[in-house]
Amino acid sequence: MTLRLGDTAPDFEQDSSQGRIKFHEWLGDSWGVLFSHPADFTPVCTTELGLTAKLADEFEKRNVKTIALSVDTADSHQDWIKDINETQAASVGFPILADKDRTVSTLYDMIHPNASETVTVRSLFVIDPKKKVRLIITYPASTGRNFDEVLRVIDSLQLTDSHSVATPGNWKDGDDVVIVPSLKDEAVIKQKFPKGYKALRPYLRMTPQPNK
C-alpha cells in the first residue's frame, strides 16, 4: 500500500513495548509521529529513540504522541529500551510497536525491497487528529533522522491549519510567514493580519507570524 499526503492513516492493532495498541484509539485527539526502525539493537536507531525521549516535552506541548516501530518482539524491545536509556541518558516513555509479522510495515509501505527485503527503511509519518497523513519522510537505513526538522514541520502544519498563511523556506517558529495567494480581500487581510504586511510581489506578501 502506498500512502500519500491527505490519505487516512491506516488503523491497526499490534503488540508493543507497552502492550496491545489499537492505533486510532491510542492516538485519540492528538497529533502523532509514527517512525520505523530496521531492527532492535542497531546503533543509529538507539540514538534516535534516545533523542525522541529527550524531546518528550517538546512533543507534548504540541499535543503530539510519538510511537516507534521495529520488526522484533516486545520482549526484545524491553531489553533494547534498557540499552537506550543507559547509553543515551534518556527515559523512553513512548511505545515501540512489535511488528514481527510486518503487518504495520506493510500497511505503511515501510519495507522497500530494493533497499532490503526484510527490514524497514527509516520512514516517518506525521498524522493529524483527523487521522490524516500530513508528512512523510523516508531516510535510508544508514542516515539518522533530524527531529528538529520534524518539530519544525509540525509547527508549520499547526500554524497554517489555523491561519491563512504558508511558511517560507528554512522558516522557524517566530519568523515571518507568507499570506496565502488566495486571500485577496484587503479588509479581510487587515482583520487577519493587524501587524500589516510587506508585498515583495503581488503574490509574495510577508507578514509577522500571526500567533506571536
Helix, strand or coil, per DSSP, at residue 196: coil
Mean per-residue pLDDT of the chain:
93
β-partners of residue 124 are 35, 137
For the segment 178-197, what is each residue's pLDDT rounded down to a tens digit?
999 999 999 999 999 999 99
Asked if 45 is an active-site residue, the reply is yes
Q: What is the mean pLDDT of residues 37-58?
A: 94
Among the listed residues 9, 45, 64, 154, the single catalytic one is 45
- Enumerate the domain spans of the chain: 13-144, 163-207
CA distance 74 to 96: 8
What's the CA gap between 62 and 202, in Å, rounded? 33
H-helix or E-strand containing 37? strand 31-37
The yes or no reply on domain 13-144 and CATH 3.40.30.10 is: yes
Using 50, 70 and 90 to split pLDDT, how confident is the model at 206? very high
| Stretch among 68-72, 75-79, 115-119 having the lowest mean pLDDT | 115-119
Q: Confidence band (pLDDT; 50, 70, 90) for 122?
A: confident
Share of the chain above pLDDT 70, in %: 95
Cell of 91: 527515559
Query: Measuring CA to CA, which residue among 125, 117, 161 is closest to residue 141?
Result: 117
Q: Span 111-137, mean pLDDT?
A: 78
Average pLDDT over residues 82-96: 97
- The pLDDT-based confidence of 137 (bands split at 50, 70, 90) is very high
pLDDT (average), residues 2-31: 97
Mean pLDDT of 28-55: 94
Burial 48-75 (b: 16+ CB within 10 A, else e): bbbbbbebbebbeeeebbbbbbbbbebe
Handedness of CA 95, 101, 104, 106 (dihedral sign): positive
Which band of pLDDT confidence, cut at 50, 70 and 90, is reported for residue 1?
Answer: low
Q: Model confidence at 118, in pLDDT bands (50, 70, 90)?
A: very low
- Quick one: how far is CA 175 from the chain centroid? 21
Amino acid 121: pLDDT? 57
Average pLDDT over residues 160-178: 97
Query: In the predicted model, what is the mean pLDDT of residues 56-60?
Result: 98
Mean pLDDT of 125-139: 96
CB distance 124 to 101 below 8 Å:
no
pLDDT > 90: percent of the chain: 83
Higher pLDDT, 60 or 37: 60
Q: What is the pLDDT of residue 115?
A: 47
